Homo-oligomer: A and B are copies of this chain.
Amino acid sequence: MDNRAIGMFDSGIGGITVLKEVKNLLPNEEIIYLGDTKRFPYGSKSKDTIIEISRQCIKFLISKNVKLIIIACGTATSQSLETLKEEFNIPIIGIIEPTVRYIKESVKNERERIGVIATSGTIRSGQWEKKIKEEVKNAQIINEEAPLLATMAEQGWISNKVAEYTIKEYMKCFKNIDKLVLGCTHYPLFEELIREELKNNTEIINTGTKVAEFIKKYIKDMNIQNDESNKEYKIYLTDLDNNFNEIAERLLDDNLKTKIEKAEI
C-alpha cells in the first residue's frame, strides 16, 4: 500500500483527457495534475527546451510527494522521457509505452495500417514509429503532423467550424487505416469530429485509456495502491489566465473552483 498521490503533467489542458481516464479507472487514487499553461505549446519547442521544462515539472510533482509520475503529454513523452527516466528514481510513465503495448496485443495481422497524428516535434522524433515497429514489425505507419490542433484545443475551439475543417484536412491521409493513434493528449477533445470524418471501422486510440489501464495493472503489481476510497484530485497551473477551467470542467463534469491553484516553477 502507498497512499501518496499519482502525479501527472502536460503543457495545458490535454492531459486532462488522461486524468479523466485514470480517475474513472482508479477512483481511490489521489491525483496531482500540473498543467504548464505558461509554457504551452510544447509541440514546437526544441528537444533541449522540452527536456528542461519537463525536468522542472517532474521536480515540482516530486515536491508534492507523489509515488509515480505520468507524462500526460505526447511531445514531452517523445522528447524527454528517455533522458529523464535515467535522472530520477521515481517511476515515470509516458503515453507511448502503454499504447504500444495495447497495439501489440490487439493487432489482428502483422501488416495492419496504423495512423499516428501528433505535434510536429513528436512526429519528427520518430518515437511512435520506432516503438510500434519494435513490437509489430511489419506494421505500416502513416504519420501526420498536426501543428494546429493543440493550440486550437487550448483556445477552446473544439467543435466550431475551424475545428471541423481542420479535422477534415488532417484526416485526408487516414482513409482506409485500421487504427489511428491520437499521439497528443489534446486530440481526444476532437474525437467526435475525427470519428465523423473517418466514417469507417478505424479504431481510434485515446492514449489516456491505455495509460489508465497500464497504471492500474502497474500499481497492483507493485502493491502501491491507495487503500482509502474515493480520493480527490488537485490541479496546478503555471499560468491561470486561459480557457483551462471551462474546458476542464466540461471534460471532468466537475466544478473546479477549489481544485485549481497557481504553481510557481
Contact = CB atoms under 8 A, between A and B. Distances in A.
Copies of this chain assembled into the complex: 2
Given A45-B45, A46-B39, A49-B49, A162 B151 contact: no
Given A151-B147, A152-B148, A44 B41 contact: yes
A227 interface: no
A169 B147 contact: no
A143 to B, nearest CB: 14
Q: Interface centre among A40, A49, A152, A162, by most B CB within 10 Å? A: A162
A161 B165 contact: yes
B160 A165 contact: yes
A138 interface: no
A200 interface: no
A56 interface: no
Nearest to A49: B49
A24 interface: no
Interface in A146-161: 147-148, 151-152, 154-155, 157, 160-161
Nearest to A167: B162
Interface string A157-177: 100111001101100000000
10 contacts: A44-B44, A44-B45, A49-B49, A147-B154, A147-B155, A148-B151, A148-B152, A160-B169, A162-B166, A165-B165
